[in-house]
Amino acid sequence: MALLLLIGLPGATELIVMVMVLAMYVGLPAAGMILIYNFLDGKRGYEKRISELEGQVERLESELSDE
């Protein structure tokens, strides 16, 4: 505890402020990038699923027309 009272070392308030600034400058942009990636990945997932379903419909229609 005595080491924290030496001149030049930040106190509890300064440490809290530094952590909050770090969270705002690093955490918020990282969270934003993760959210954007998940949103875009979800859209690509829908497109893939739709194309698979269209392919399945075409196969079923070709089976019906063969019969």
Task: For residue 2, give the amino acid letter.
Answer: A
Average pLDDT, the chain: 84
pLDDT in tens, 5-30: 566 667 788 888 999 999 999 999 99
Which tops the pLDDT comparison, 40 or 22? 22
Contacts (Cβ under 8 Å, ≥6 apart) of 39? none
Domain membership of residue 66 (yes or no) is yes
Residue 51: C-alpha distances to residues 18, 35, 43 (Å): 49, 25, 13
Distance (Å, whole) CA 46 – CA 44: 5
Domain membership of residue 5 (yes or no) is no
Domain membership of residue 21 (yes or no) is no
Would you state the structure tokens that stand for residue 28, as one six-digit string?
Answer: 């918020």
pTM (predicted TM-score): 0.49
Domain membership of residue 54 (yes or no) is yes
**Number of domains composing the chain:** 1
Q: Is the pLDDT of residue 56 over 80?
A: yes
